[in-house]
Amino acid sequence: MHTGKLVFSQLMEFFPWRRFDTCVRRYGGDHKVKTFPCSEHLRVMAFAQLTYRESLRDIETCLRAVQSKWYHMGLRGGVSRNNLANANQQRDWRIYADFTQVLIDEARSLYAKEDLGIDLEATVYALDASTIDLCLSMFPWARFRQTKGAVKMHTLLNLHGNIPEFILISDGKLHDVNVLDYLVPTPGAYYIMDRGYLDFGRLYDLHQAKAYFVTRAKNNFAFQRRYSHEVDKASGVQCDQTVILETFYSFQGYPEPLRRIRYYDQSLGKRLVFLTNDFNLPATTIAALYKRRWQIELFFKWIKQHLRIKSFYGTSQNAVKAQIWIAVSVYLLVAIAKKRLGIELPLYTILQILSVSIFEKTPLVELFSQSDYSFPQPPSPNQLLLFE
């Protein structure tokens, strides 16, 4: 019989627990806590994310069925529905938010040289928001419409490895463009945004911070053309212009020239108009950069389908935010393990394998290897031969 660590325990070793203890002490997470500390709360919630548990009772039932393995999972006891509910209610969600930032820093360094598919050495970010619908009668603090509740997950995604470097969880009423006020721009980086973030005053702040942006123009965009550059229309670029804003308040917000590119996307059959403050990159590269913005839509779709952030284990604001941050931590944990172990499988496949082998004792490298691995069986002298 093979002996070793559980797959769950091996995976938990990729968490920097010392840094997590620092986050816990920062907010007094374990103050007067005797039986169910924050480290165990994180382990149990990570288990729930990895195995797709649907409720607190579901978590309790599954763990009580394997109570002999608690010690090997890093659990001392006290795992109950009541303890989990109290932890979700009382443990400050900022503990898990700060710890997620620690994981972001680690994942960013691991994926820094990930190929973007574009001949560009700068960091490229995609900015967008996703709405998570909530039942207003159960989440009265999350009022969005008259009869609807929701929270928004604003995310700045580093396209080198699809690592979410900035996340803001707000109520559903916060307009997407307001999240630009919370960003600290990185000089030389590119920020790819859709038309919902077209605010010329805020875009000018990005420009003054020496950062670049690529966004789409609205249909009523008013401008004066200053110069037209030569283009190769066979590449899909129909025009490449230097323009000045014509509307008074828009010009007050952004008083410098902008670059306007009109591009015809044959795959979509649509004509797109881009605005950017970068006058050096080829127009086709600007169009390719905006096309990479679709990665953040895929990120939102992936995390909603494969992690538990659409249904929640608690109804308080603290419980909702803590669960979202822990879900992002699990996403980053799997991404870090994938890179450190050199696993070639996609994240979806890794999660599926983990969900059915969480209590096995197979080494992670062998668990995700493409070859069929089996332990050699010693010959038995009592085994009779069928044919002689």
| Tokens read off for 94 | 């900022």
The reply to whether 83 falls in a domain is yes
Length of the chain: 388
Closest of 147, 145, 152, 44 to residue 91, by C-alpha: 44
User: What's the confidence (pLDDT) of residue 1?
Assistant: 45
The reply to whether 35 falls in a domain is yes
pLDDT in tens, 21-61: 999 999 999 998 888 999 999 999 999 999 999 999 999 99
| 385: pLDDT strictly greater than 60 | no
Domain assignment of residue 356, given as a range:
7-94+314-367
The reply to whether 356 falls in a domain is yes
- At residue 154 the predicted structure's pLDDT band, cuts being 50, 70 and 90, is very high
User: What's the confidence (pLDDT) of residue 177?
Assistant: 94
The reply to whether 48 falls in a domain is yes
Q: Transcribe 184-243 into DSSP letters.
A: -PPTT-EEE--GGG--HHHHHHHHHTT-EEEEE--TT--EEEEEEE---GGGTEEEEEEE
- At residue 373 the predicted structure's pLDDT band, cuts being 50, 70 and 90, is very low
- Dihedral over Cα of 286, 288, 289, 294: its sign: positive
pLDDT in tens, 326-341: 999 999 999 999 999 9
Q: What is the mean pLDDT of residues 344-366?
A: 90
| 362: pLDDT strictly greater than 60 | yes
| Tokens read off for 326 | 């822990």
The reply to whether 209 falls in a domain is no
Closest of 327, 340, 361, 385 to residue 167, by C-alpha: 327
Average per-residue pLDDT in the chain?
90
Compute CA distances 104 → 63, 268, 329, whole Å. 29, 34, 8
- At residue 388 the predicted structure's pLDDT band, cuts being 50, 70 and 90, is low
pLDDT in tens, 206-231: 999 999 999 999 888 899 999 998 88
**Residue 56 backbone dihedrals phi, psi, to 5 degrees:** -65, -40
Angle at 154 between CA 19 and CA 144, to 5 degrees: 120
3-class DSSP state for residue 68?
Answer: helix
The reply to whether 104 falls in a domain is no
Report percent pLDDT > 90 for the chain: 72
pLDDT in tens, 97-141: 999 999 999 999 999 888 888 888 889 999 999 999 998 889 999
User: What's the confidence (pLDDT) of residue 49?
Assistant: 94
| Tokens read off for 336 | 């870090």
Q: How many domains does the chain have?
A: 1
pLDDT in tens, 302-324: 999 888 888 899 999 999 999 99
- Partners of 129 in the β-ladder: 154
Question: Which region, left, alpha or beta, applies to residue 361 given φ > 0 means left and ψ of -120 to 50 means alpha?
Answer: alpha
3-class DSSP state for residue 90?
Answer: helix
Q: What is the mean pLDDT of residues 365-378?
A: 64
Q: What is the pTM of this model?
A: 0.89
| Tokens read off for 162 | 């699809």
Distance CA 95, CA 87 (A): 12
With a CB cutoff of 8 Å and minimum separation 6, the contacts of 178 are: none
| 265: pLDDT strictly greater than 90 | no
User: What's the confidence (pLDDT) of residue 375?
Assistant: 47
The reply to whether 320 falls in a domain is yes
The reply to whether 79 falls in a domain is yes
> By CB neighbour count within 10 A (0-12 exposed, 13-18 middle, 19+ buried), where does 357 fall?
middle
